[in-house]
Amino acid sequence: MRIGLLSLLLVGAAAAFADFTPDWNKPIPPFRIAGNLYYVGTNYLASYLITTKAGDILINPDYEESIPVIQHNIETLGFHFSDIKIILISHAHDDHAAGCALAKKQSGAQLMVMDADVAEIEHGGAGDFQYVQHWTPVKVDRILHDGSLVNLGGVTLTAHLTPGHTKGCTTWTIDVKDAGKTLHAVIVGSPNVNTGYKLVDNKQYPRIAADYEKCFQVLRALPCDLFLGAHGVYFGMDEKLTRLKTGGVNPFIDPDGYRAYVEEREQAFRKELAAQQSHSQ
């Protein structure tokens, strides 16, 4: 994991939610991660397609402007946007969720969202504790809770509440069968403390520090073979894609990278919390 890239992510994060960010929406070729799990997102915004015998599941439609990119990637892989039956998100920030309404309209899929993020989705981004967001409001078809199972065509995803980054931030896990093996995939929602986040005396989000504690407790406990996340930079996607082209062991099988990432992000949270606590005294 390139920690320097994570730092760049956090520095730019505060500006990311005011408007569409074109530099985050550049097309890249889609690819198979393992088994029935595919990457169909942009250069920076991770979107995943999970195919099943009863239709497909899309995680993170990203911006509205991302939908044509995602649709093209899905079709390039030989699948169809109209086969998407379920839409999921990692968390209710515009770069992952602003495209929900359009994706739902074009696919006819059901939208399923963690309970604590439902209000933002249905009110077009309004109500976020940190950002002023604007997107097309859309009705959530199924409200999820910590531990909810999403089943389709013999495939099951588990929704893990990993709050802090948003109140309903969700990390997804799924067992992927690949080359006769079962791989535990973890798609991290986000453990990042963005620039400007107030961890102490936050009247808009009083539980924010305790929620981050829960987030890291959950992430540490998850078994992980395939390390993925809401942004490619979380799991070193660009470097791993280069390695993927050379053949050999699947570079996305990275349990050590996952553990190192979680540890580094937790240390960054604790450092920021301690600094804010010191300044508040």
Whole-number pLDDT of residue 20: 86
Number of domains in the chain: 1
Q: Packing angle between helix 3-16 and helix 255-280, nearest 10 degrees?
A: 60
CB atoms within 10 A of CB 240: 18
Whole-number pLDDT of residue 280: 80
CATH number of the domain encompassing residue 242? 3.60.15.10
Contact predicate 44/24, CB 8 Å: yes
Domain that holds residue 89: 3-280
- 222 token code pair: 């998850």
Contact predicate 56/85, CB 8 Å: yes
Dump pLDDT digits (tens) for 156-215. Answer: 999 999 999 999 999 999 999 999 999 999 999 999 999 999 999 999 999 999 999 999
Whole-number pLDDT of residue 11: 36
Whole-number pLDDT of residue 245: 86
Report how far residue 76's alpha carbon sits from residue 60's, in angstroms, rounded to the nearest whole number: 18
Report how far residue 196's alpha carbon sits from residue 25's, in angstroms, rounded to the nearest whole number: 24
Whole-number pLDDT of residue 248: 86
Q: What pTM did the predictor assign?
A: 0.93
- 31 token code pair: 């690819």
Q: Spell out, as residue ranges, where the chain has pLDDT lower than 70.
A: 1-18
Dump pLDDT digits (tens) for 220-234. Answer: 999 999 999 999 999
Specify which residues 32 forms β-bridges with.
38
How far is CA 43 from each of CA 56, 92, 132, 148, 230, rounded to the nearest angstrom?
A: 22, 20, 24, 30, 12
